[in-house]
Amino acid sequence: MPAEMMIPPVLYMIAGALLLPLIPKSIRSAAFILFPLIALAVIWSFPDGYLIKTSFLGYELILCEVNRLTRIFGIIFALIAVIGGVYSYHIKETAHQSAALLYAGGALGVTFAGDYFTLFIFWELMAVASTYLVWARRNGEAEKAGIRYLLVHLFGGSLLLAGILIQVNQTGSILITSLVPDGSISSWLILAGVALNTAIPPLHAWLSDAYPKATVTGAVFLSAFTTKSAVLVLIKVYAGWEILIFFGVMMALYGVVYAVLANDIREILAYHIISQVGYMVAGVGIGTEMAINGTTAHAFSHILYKALLFMGAGVVLHTTGKSKLTELGGLAKAQPVTLWLYMIGAFSISGFPLFNGFISKSMVVSAAGEAHFDTAMLLLLLASVGTFLHTGLKLPYFTWWSEPKQNITPTKPPVTMIAGMALAAFLCTLFGVYPTLLYDYLPFAVNYQPYTLYHLTEAVQLLTFTFIAFWLLRGKLAGEHLIALDTDWFYRRPARFVQKVFVDGVNAAFDYTDKIAVKIVQVMVKFARNPLVIFNPAEKGTDYHADEHRASTQLLTILIIFSFVVFAIVSLLF
């Protein structure tokens, strides 16, 4: 094994993040792309079964465990970092780009981690690095959303850590292995921590809260890593836990309902991350080889088309400064290339034949049918109606085709933003047309054919009549100047009360104590200037002077000593 291959891929990304500030500005953006490219090449060249181990505090750590499952996730994470690098080529803020590399590196670290200690370290690295991609927007909303995002993720990390510690205590092993639903507290705590990053309701609101407020390019990275790396952990640990089918189907529909109510285009897309990840969670719950293949393929496809959709919405925001449907409209003539590249992402997520969503989503849905989860299958098909309705129809219609609400003249986007979109669009189409390019690398041998007459008929009927219903009811989907309350209400609304009691209250008490302390000091200072004022008020206003006050000081000292002597004699006698 060549020496350079002994380095886990995450370290190339971390090295990139650290080196980036030292690289001349003129080539920094190109250098950004280089590091994930190296990581991609290294992951590609890893043989199956490849392990990098080390020991720490008596435990054996597996820093890098390569198998068919981790390799395909590693490849797509590195690939999307490359595409994101092209899209954000114009960004010159080094901290932003370093944070993006660290975040992508964290995702690779989680992907290849074979033990919980390594997993936890990179899990937290992702949380911290991704927070910066929200804060870097540099406005009040982003600042507050970033703090909420970080606190929620630290809470999730604490659940994960608590579960890990209990598990290590009970089993003596820190290796990541498949768990059975045995009711142990550790497995449920770990599941809760992972579920938070997977954005399973009710632990999902951080996503729809923070992603729409992140930077234009930051949202592209955000859409790719956190939820999908958590899905990978679910596959590794919780495959076959049937409760996940319920949660998966529920989140697929949950995202759809909220996307109807959302006004911000990136919020619509954020809710559809939750919806799409629902397919993956359901696939993990089904747990058959076909379902795990479907989940993996859908994660791969989803990362590509969701990044493309966020890139399209990002171009709109970058060139108009607006992201609300109530302010957009009529941009089709000014942005035909952006529109049609976006539409490739929309066709993909909606499961149009010849695009990558069709070859992966249908595999999860078919796996549900094959395993006789008929209701789940039907509801996942319903969620896919909702997906086309929002990302394929509502968002593009009210952004590009409908009458403009304001007179907007978009600026020209950097050519590299369009190049990033084109790259993602090319891959969405490539994998849609040649599914074996993806199927050949899935965890299990694939015995599934997406392009059958039955599947095509099903897709054509569903999509055509979703479109017709949208067209007839499109007036009901226009944006409104409203927000929709989500589960973040439970920590945002009481925040005012918490602020009053624990921040304002404590501040008031501190202020009061401070005032009293200052007053005491002021009085003490007066006495310190001339302590004789205690015994002789006539001294008030004069400072103590050794020569002038010698006589009175001597008298006072004698009086004190005399008092002590009298007190001592009296004590001895009685």
Partner 1 sequence: MKKWHWIALGLLTAASLIAEFIFLTDYPKEHWWSYVPAFYILWGFVGCAGIIFISKWIGKLLLQKKEDYYDAG
Of 64-72, 352-360, 430-438, 460-468, the window that binds partner 1 (rule: CB under 8 A) is: 460-468
Q: Which is nearer to partner 1, 485 or 568 (CB)?
A: 485
Instruction: For residues 472 and 476, give the distance between their C-alpha atoms in angstroms, rounded to a whole number.
Output: 9
484 binds partner 1 (CB under 8 A): yes
* CB count in 10 Å sphere of residue 111: 31
Instruction: For residues 315 and 421, give the distance between their C-alpha atoms in angstroms, rounded to a whole number.
Output: 10
Instruction: For residues 373 and 371, give the distance between their C-alpha atoms in angstroms, rounded to a whole number.
Output: 6
- How distant, in Å, are the alpha carbons of 152, 240, 398, 492 from that of 197? 10, 19, 31, 19
Q: Which is nearer to partner 1, 493 or 526 (CB)?
A: 493
Figure out which of the listed residues 354, 460, 501, 559 binds partner 1, where binding follows CB under 8 A: 460
Figure out which of the listed residues 54, 158, 436, 457 binds partner 1, where binding follows CB under 8 A: 457
- Identify the sign of the CA torsion 225, 228, 234, 239: negative
Quick note: the x/- pattern for partner 1 over 251-290, rule CB under 8 A, is -----xxx-xx-----------------------------
Tokens of 279: 């397919």
Tokens of 191: 């599941």
Q: What is the dihedral of CA 478, 481, 487, 488, to 10 degrees?
A: 140
Closest approach, Cβ 343 to partner 1, in A, equals: 15
Of 6-14, 423-431, 463-471, 513-521, the window that binds partner 1 (rule: CB under 8 A) is: 463-471
68 binds partner 1 (CB under 8 A): no
Of 224-232, 250-258, 282-290, 537-545, the window that binds partner 1 (rule: CB under 8 A) is: 250-258
Peptide bond into 202 cis (omega under 30): yes
Q: Which residues make Cβ contacts (< 8 Å) with residue 206, sequence separation at least 6?
A: 148, 149, 152, 153, 196, 199, 488
**Phi and psi for 412 in degrees, rounded to 5?**
-85, 130
Closest approach, Cβ 322 to partner 1, in A, equals: 14
Give 155-209 as a 3 state SS string: HHHHHHHHHHHHHHHHHCCCECCCCCCCCCHHHHHHHHHHHHHHCCCCCCHHHHH
Judge residue 48's burial from the number of C-beta atoms within 10 Å of its C-beta, 0-12 exposed, 13-18 middle, 19 or more buried. Answer: exposed
Closest approach, Cβ 403 to partner 1, in A, equals: 15
461 binds partner 1 (CB under 8 A): yes
Figure out which of the listed residues 454, 523, 525, 541 binds partner 1, where binding follows CB under 8 A: 454
Figure out which of the listed residues 25, 138, 412, 476 binds partner 1, where binding follows CB under 8 A: 476
510 binds partner 1 (CB under 8 A): no
Quick note: the x/- pattern for partner 1 over 378-417, rule CB under 8 A, is x--xx--xx--x----------------------------
- In the chain, the amino acid numbered 350 is S
Contact call for residues 263 and 482 (beta carbons, < 8 A): yes
562 binds partner 1 (CB under 8 A): no
Of 35-43, 94-102, 155-163, 453-461, the window that binds partner 1 (rule: CB under 8 A) is: 453-461
330 binds partner 1 (CB under 8 A): no
Closest approach, Cβ 408 to partner 1, in A, equals: 20
Of 77-85, 117-125, 178-186, 490-498, the window that binds partner 1 (rule: CB under 8 A) is: 490-498
Figure out which of the listed residues 67, 165, 408, 492 binds partner 1, where binding follows CB under 8 A: 492
477 binds partner 1 (CB under 8 A): yes
Q: Which is nearer to partner 1, 501 or 520 (CB)?
A: 501
462 binds partner 1 (CB under 8 A): yes
Q: Which residues make Cβ contacts (< 8 Å) with residue 394, sequence separation at least 6?
A: 259, 260, 268, 325, 470, 474, 477
Residue identified by tokens 């001349």 is 24
Of 6-14, 427-435, 491-499, 550-558, the window that binds partner 1 (rule: CB under 8 A) is: 491-499
485 binds partner 1 (CB under 8 A): yes
464 binds partner 1 (CB under 8 A): yes
Question: If you write DSSP's letter for every residue of 499-533 in order, what string do you get?
Answer: IIIIIIHHHHHHHHHHHHHHHHHHHHHHHHH-GGG
463 binds partner 1 (CB under 8 A): yes
Q: Give the angle subtended at the CA of 258 by the CAs of 235 and 238, to the nearest 5°.
A: 10
Q: Which is nearer to partner 1, 7 or 260 (CB)?
A: 260
478 binds partner 1 (CB under 8 A): no
Q: Which is nearer to partner 1, 482 or 573 (CB)?
A: 482
Rg (CA), the chain: 31
Instruction: For residues 484 and 513, give the distance between their C-alpha atoms in angstroms, rounded to a whole number.
Output: 43
The site that binds partner 1 (CB under 8 A) totals a number of residues, namely: 44
Contact call for residues 421 and 84 (beta carbons, < 8 A): no
501 binds partner 1 (CB under 8 A): no
Residues that bind partner 1 (CB under 8 A): 256-258, 260-261, 369, 374, 377-378, 381-382, 385-386, 389, 453-454, 456-458, 460-471, 473, 476-477, 480-486, 492-493, 496
